[in-house]
Amino acid sequence: MALFLVNILDGLVTGLLLFMLCSGLTLIFSMMGVLNFAHASFYMLGAYFAYQISTITGFWLGLLVAPVIVGVFGALIERYGLRRVHKYGHVPELIFTFGLALLIEEVIQFFWGKSQMAYSEPEALNFAAFAIAGNSFPAYKVFMIFVAMGLFLTLLYILTKTRIGMTIQAALSYPETVQNLGHNVPLVFMGVFGVGTAMAGLAGVIAGPVLGTFPGMAVQLGSIVFVTIVIGGLGSLWGALVASLIIGWLQTFAAAYNVAMEDILTFFGFTKPENIWDHPLQDLWTLTLPQIGPILPYLLMVFVLVLRPQGLMGKRET
């Protein structure tokens, strides 16, 4: 039971972290109608910038400054890169972001090398907040939960309660009409792209010390981010939150419990073959839940796409 509680908390941290990445991506998608393949690369940039700043001034300034730099960088990419490609259609945009992802990874390797960076939690948060049955829960993870929740509430407030939010939402659905009403829609797009990438940067800043800061970190999260927004429904903030939490718990619990295929098969009355190592069904018999954990989100995506193609909370059929 104690372990169950710990896993609930761990899954919450994983899920919220995923949400910080997905929220920006899903906003950008609903705006441009194109998947930003480079989104996870902005997450990586956030971690590296914050690491570099933290070596000079400590963690906290990095937390504030790095997302801003990433956001400005993202806005510039939109203004001088994506906007130019936009007029040629979606495929060139897609290819542009794909190339950008590769470029960012190479640039990072060029400047910082290929090893793991020694980016770690701030001293002030480097203690165990509490322990459940000997399992300590680091204060830094509590901090992560609060940052992610704070981000979600702020975003929700801005999008639904403020004038800027209304304009953004209107521009997402009817850009021409909003433009005709006198709003600067390209500026709105640039702003949303900048804020979206800044959120990815923030996710990188706070995830870097826990998940590691290395050139492969973008690739590692890249695919799961897309899976999450497809499950949640493209363009839906609530959907992104729900899907992130489901995937966070799914992965945590899958890794935490050693349910073995052998037990299940025996339960259903099958007998384990004598010489399992030479048996054709060896892989099936020796399968365990932690081993298939990483593919569970993809399975879930397939089910969601079959049963509810617009995603859990998506409104559009596309």
Partner 1 sequence: MNKFKSLLVGAVVAGLAATSAMAQEKVRIAFIDPLSGPFASTGNQGLSIYRHAVDELVNKKGALLNGAAEFEIVPFDNKISAKESLIQLQVAIDQGIRFIAQGASSGVANALTDAIKKHNKRNPDSQVIFLNHSAVDPALTNDKCNFWHFRFDANADIKMDALTDDIAGNEDIKKVYIIGQDYSFGKAVAAAATRFLGEKRPDIEIVGNELHPIGKVKDFTPYARKVIASEADAVITGNWGGDMVGLGKAIMGAGFTKPIYTYYGATSGITANFGDQGDGIVKLAGAGQVNPPLSADAEAFTASYYEKFPELDLGQPQMANVAPMLAAAINEVGNADDVKAIAYALEGMEHDGILTGKTVMRESDHQAIQTVTVQGQASEGLTFDYDNSGHGMIAETVVELASADEPTTCKMKRP
256 touching partner 1, by CB under 8 A: yes
Q: At what angle do helices 185-211 and 39-57 cross, to 10 degrees?
A: 60
DSSP labels, 244-310: HHHHHHHHHHHHH---BHHHHHHHTT----SSGGG-TTHHHHT-BHHHHGGGHHHHHHHHHHHH-TT
Distance CA 315, CA 20 (A): 21
Minimum CB–partner distance for residue 86 and partner 1 (Å): 33
| 54-113: contacts with partner 1 (CB under 8 A) | 113
**Among 87, 115, 182, 269, which residue sits at the site for partner 1 (rule: CB under 8 A)?**
115
CB 47 within 8 A of CB 40: no
Coil, strand or helix at 288: strand
**Among 57, 136, 154, 160, which residue sits at the site for partner 1 (rule: CB under 8 A)?**
136
Distance CA 109, CA 188 (A): 33
The smaller minimum CB distance to partner 1, of residues 68 and 210, is found at: 210
Count of positions on this chain that bind partner 1 (CB under 8 A): 40
258 touching partner 1, by CB under 8 A: yes
String of contacts with partner 1 for each residue 263-302, x by CB under 8 A: -------------------------x-xx-xx--------
214 touching partner 1, by CB under 8 A: yes
First to last CA, the chain: 42
CB 205 within 8 A of CB 65: no
Minimum CB–partner distance for residue 99 and partner 1 (Å): 19
Minimum CB–partner distance for residue 2 and partner 1 (Å): 8
CB 202 within 8 A of CB 46: yes
Q: Which segment (42-50, 86-94, 95-103, 209-217) binds partner 1 by CB under 8 A?
A: 209-217
CA torsion 297-289-143-21 (nearest 10°) is: -20
3 touching partner 1, by CB under 8 A: yes
Residues at the contact surface with partner 1, assessed by CB under 8 A: 3, 6-7, 10, 13-14, 113-118, 120, 128, 131, 133-136, 138, 210-212, 214-216, 220-221, 224, 251-253, 255-256, 258, 288, 290-291, 293-294
